[in-house]
Amino acid sequence: MQSETEPRGHPVVAAVLDAAMWPLRKVRKQIVPQAAGRVLEIGVGTGANFPYYRDADSLAGVEPDPHMLRRARRRAESISLDVDLSARGAEQLPYDDASFDTVVATWVLCTIPDPEAALAEMRRVLRPRGTLLFAEHTRSPQRLAARVQGGLSPCWSRLAGGCRLDRDSIAMIRDAGFEDVVVEPAGRERFTLTPVYLGTARRPDARAPDRGND
């Protein structure tokens, strides 16, 4: 029996997520193999990124949805990498400061209840000059598409496990105190309700003044 404190999760979303995200596998292949050293993945979902790690020495991951996490743990058994998964959200990471070389976040900022807190935690656990690798969908830069996203987002969120169509995920990364933020569209920037961008950012060097994105 599920306890009152255990997250209910989204069993239907967990069951269909791999199929729904299959068209984005090329983006995963672009971003995930760049991870190196000690790696933390935020919101591992069903573990769809796991097969694409190439240069990671170890992999830790957090995922609050129990249905997603069960699938991720099964998938972790099929790869030749030390994987440590935790049933936690990203807003309070159970890791020491400056303990990871790379943080990977793919399609999670749209769903995390407090994305600003999560980004602050990602920055905290990265070592100075450590790398954040991300792929996110975001609020459209096109005014009409953004208005449609805003109108659909409440209904979409209920159907898609909390995902918001209208969050400006890239702006949140830029505002979170990272530097050397590099962003590129994952496809043609056209009228779409889920424009996807990928990129990299770094935690500032602790010995230098914190310049943010200046």
The residue with greater pLDDT, 71 or 148, is: 71
- Give the residues across from 137 on adjacent strands: 196
Instruction: Calculate mean pLDDT across residues 71-76.
Output: 96
Total length of the chain: 214
Ranges 122-131, 151-160, 191-200: which has the least confidence? 151-160
Tell me the residue range of the domain where 161 lies: 11-202
HSE-up of residue 93 (Cα within 13 Å, Cβ side)? 28
The residue with greater pLDDT, 167 or 174, is: 174
Confidence band for 25, pLDDT divided at 50, 70 and 90: very high
Task: Read off the DSSP letter of residue 66.
Answer: H
Rounded to two decimals, the pTM is 0.85
The residue with greater pLDDT, 186 or 109, is: 109
Confidence band for 212, pLDDT divided at 50, 70 and 90: very low
Instruction: Calculate mean pLDDT across residues 37-61.
Output: 97
Residue 131 resides in a domain:
yes
Confidence band for 173, pLDDT divided at 50, 70 and 90: very high
pLDDT at 193: 64
Residue 4 resides in a domain:
no
CA distance 191 to 106: 22
Residue 207 resides in a domain:
no
Residue 194 resides in a domain:
yes
Residue 154 has pLDDT above 70, yes or no: no
The CATH number of residue 23's host domain is 3.40.50.150
Could you count the other beta carbons within 10 Å of the beta carbon of residue 75?
A: 19
pLDDT at 2: 36
Residue 211 resides in a domain:
no
- Give the number of domains in the chain: 1
Residue 148 resides in a domain:
yes
